[in-house]
Amino acid sequence: MSRTTVLRFSSVIPIIFSIAACSAEVPAEQAEAPVEPTENPGVEATPLTEDDSGQAAAEQTKATGWCSTKEPVIFSCQLKSRKVVSVCGTENGAGIKAAQYRFGTHGKSPELVWPAAAGKDRLSFSSVPYSGGGEAQLSFSRGDVTYVVYSRMVRTNFKAGEPNNPEMTDGVMVLKGKQTVSDLVCADPDVVPVNYDLASAYADKSDDAFIIPGE
């Protein structure tokens, strides 16, 4: 999927991106551990739709990440470590829609799946406008550890009459309490940034959930 076809934010903030995400990352040895908890919950997790989860592993592409061809791709990208993080739209037999976070290496079972099943645990979706840009986030917490998938556009040129020169960044932050433990930035051009419409449909919209590290 091309970045030019993905709607980042709401119709109130009609921003369409056409530039690849930036690729700066923290060192892998520092960043990977928080994203891969030692208890490895993804191995034991029961996907919202069992058939789709198995199909997703077999159908993985850069465009769909961990999502099967039957699941909407809310967000997906490959990190510098070549591991893939995706947020997929799922629907169980009762018709309950839920966004599901999946992380791991292509060709293997996902290392982290959240939520494990449809229920009270749901991802939160929030967004804020910036001058000449904005940011969308999908987040969830496990104990005192919070995972934040984000797509961000920041204006870098404020000279009158000149282009805004927007800078785009997509990735996943991991925070322990309010401290950022790692910030893994997407490292390939085939990023599927946070899709506002799908995130609104499959996650709980709450701008109060917007996370600013350190605050």
φ/ψ of 138, rounded to 5, equals: -120, 125
Of 14-18, 43-47, 65-69, 71-75, which one has max mean pLDDT?
71-75
pLDDT cut 70: percent of the chain above it: 65
If phi over 0 gives left and psi between -120 and 50 gives alpha, with beta otherwise, what is residue 165? left
Query: Which amino acid is residue 177, in one-letter code?
Result: G
Chain CA centroid to CA 186, Å: 10
pTM above 0.85, yes or no: no
186 three-state secondary structure:
strand
**Confidence check: pLDDT of 49 > 50:** no
CB atoms within 10 A of CB 34: 18
Query: Which amino acid is residue 75, in one-letter code?
Result: F
Question: What is the rounded CA–CA span in Å between residue 142 and residue 112?
Answer: 11
Q: How confident is the model at residue 134 (pLDDT cuts 50, 70, 90)?
A: confident
pLDDT, tens digit (0-9, with 9 covering 90-100), for 145-175? 999 999 998 766 667 776 666 678 999 999 9
Over residues 58-86, the mean pLDDT reads 85
